[in-house]
């Protein structure tokens, strides 16, 4: 029973950690990803008319519609250079206060009195050695001029140059911090020589309590099939699918280990059959049937599995609650966003684990039960 309980407890805790990681990723996405995003089904950039923007803004449940132009560029500052991702935003992004809480230093703005500024990821800010007090050396941004490169003109005109001063430092998560800079949308369009209405995507923020599926369908009906409207989970479908697949393979692996561990139950019941040989003959003399004897040993195996599963689930829930509440087991990763392993317990995992254990232990009980029947009913008459 203890052996089965330990197996159930281990599997429950492992699955709960995977649930915690998935939940942590989803909560992390909420800090910098929109509720819904609109992208083109075929092009990296597209344009929406003012009428379409107005139609999107009037959909019930929509609080903000934000045009975004995003691309990679080379920045240079203080003798250092780095390839980063520039994200052009407008006043709708600022008014919605997205990433406001993630500004750890400086101000929350990308434009002041007509001058461009950039909110820089913490990793970029530190690696480039940027300084708010340096008002004489702006950050240079170099972007390839596609028209010049198409004519094979490799000279000073082959790249567009614009500058900005850092206004704030953003700290969201490692990938974001090491590559992202938020800049004004018109400035970004000038740098990339994009049209006045060109965007790479349109972010849609929802009101509290709004149904994202209903809003998603409403947006899709307005824009048509040439655009894709993705929820936050769909934006990171590959990552979330990878977590689920990894969780599935861990479950299968642990079930296989349980199958190997069930041999202990098999040998325990086999020894019980040998030990109770005389008692079995007594039961035979009292008129026990083969089916009754088979049910006795199967019941013993099921009792062990049921009791072990209950003990394991209780221990798993208790340890999971302790980890979830107090975080006693740390991640051991410096500067991580979380200090301890995340735990998210789901009753479905408990039920699936218990069901797998019960099935495996039941199968392990069949052979000893049949062996008991054979030893009892196939004895020579002289005995």
Q: What is the DSSP letter of 330?
A: B
More confident residue, 153 or 184: 184
pLDDT digits (tens, 9 = 90+) for 94-141: 999 999 999 999 999 999 998 999 999 999 999 999 999 998 999 999
With contact defined as beta carbons under 8 Å apart, do 82 and 75 qualify?
A: yes
Looking at the predicted structure, is the pLDDT value of residue 71 above 90? Answer: yes
Nearest Cα neighbor of 375 from 266, 263, 276 is 276
- Kind and range of the H or E run holding 368: helix 347-377
Would you say residue 83 has pLDDT above 60? yes
Q: Residue 283 and residue 376: Cα distance in Å, rounded?
A: 9
pLDDT band of 383, cuts 50, 70, 90? very low
pLDDT band at 379 (very low <50, low <70, confident <90, very high): low
Q: Is the pTM of this model over 0.85?
A: no
- Range name among 86-95, 104-113, 152-161, 291-300 with the lowest pLDDT average: 152-161
What percent of the chain has pLDDT above 70?
94
The Cβ of residue 296 has, within 10 Å, a number of other Cβ atoms equal to 16
Helix (H, G, I), strand (E, B) or coil at 91: helix
Using one digit for the tens of pLDDT, what is the confidence trace for 191-236? 998 988 999 999 999 999 999 999 999 999 999 999 999 999 898 8
Cα–Cα distance, 277 to 273 (Å, whole number):
6
Domain ranges across the chain? 2-26+239-377, 34-235
Q: What is the distance between the alpha carbons of residues 326 and 323, in angstroms, rounded to a whole number? A: 5
| Cβ-contact 170, 103 below 8 angstroms | yes
Q: What is the DSSP letter of 207?
A: P
Indicate if the pLDDT at residue 272 is higher than 90: no
């Amino acid at each position: 029973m203890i052996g089965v309980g330990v197996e159930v407890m281990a599997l429950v805790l492992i699955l709960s950690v995977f649930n915690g990681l998935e939940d942590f990723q989803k909560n992390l996405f909420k800090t910098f990803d929109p509720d819904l995003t609109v992208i083109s089904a075929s092009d990296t950039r597209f344009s929406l008319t003012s009428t379409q923007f107005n139609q999107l803004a009037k959909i019930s449940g929509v609080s903000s519609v934000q045009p975004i132009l995003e691309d990679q560029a080379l920045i240079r500052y203080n003798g250092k250079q780095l390839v980063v991702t520039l994200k052009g935003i407008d006043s709708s992004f600022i008014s919605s206060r997205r990433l406001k809480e993630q500004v750890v230093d400086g101000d929350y703005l990308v434009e002041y009195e007509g001058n461009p500024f950039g909110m820089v990821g913490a990793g970029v800010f530190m690696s480039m050695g940027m300084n708010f007090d340096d008002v004489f050396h702006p950050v240079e941004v170099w972007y390839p001029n596609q028209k010049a490169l198409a004519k094979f003109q490799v000279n000073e005109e082959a790249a567009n140059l614009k500058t900005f001063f850092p206004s704030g430092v953003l700290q969201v998560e490692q990938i974001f911090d090491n590559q992202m800079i938020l800049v004004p949308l018109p400035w970004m369009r000038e740098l990339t020589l994009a049209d006045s209405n060109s965007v790479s995507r349109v972010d849609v923020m929802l009101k509290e309590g709004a149904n994202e599926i209903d809003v998603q369908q409403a947006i899709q009906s307005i824009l048509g099939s040439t655009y894709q409207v993705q929820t936050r989970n769909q934006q990171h479908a590959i990552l979330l699918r990878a977590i689920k697949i990894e969780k599935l393979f861990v479950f299968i692996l642990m079930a296989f280990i349980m199958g190997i561990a069930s041999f202990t139950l098999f040998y325990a019941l086999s020894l019980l059959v040998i030990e109770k040989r005389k008692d079995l003959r007594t039961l035979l003399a009292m008129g026990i049937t083969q089916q009754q004897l088979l049910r006795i040993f199967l019941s013993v195996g099921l009792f062990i599995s049921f009791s072990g599963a209950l003990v394991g689930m209780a221990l798993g829930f208790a340890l999971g609650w302790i980890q979830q509440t107090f975080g006693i087991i740390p991640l051991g990763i410096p500067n991580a966003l979380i200090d301890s392993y995340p735990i998210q317990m789901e009753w479905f995992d408990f039920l699936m684990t218990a069901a797998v254990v019960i099935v495996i232990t039941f199968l392990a009980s069949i052979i000893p039960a049949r062996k008991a029947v054979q030893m009892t009913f196939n004895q020579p008459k002289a005995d």
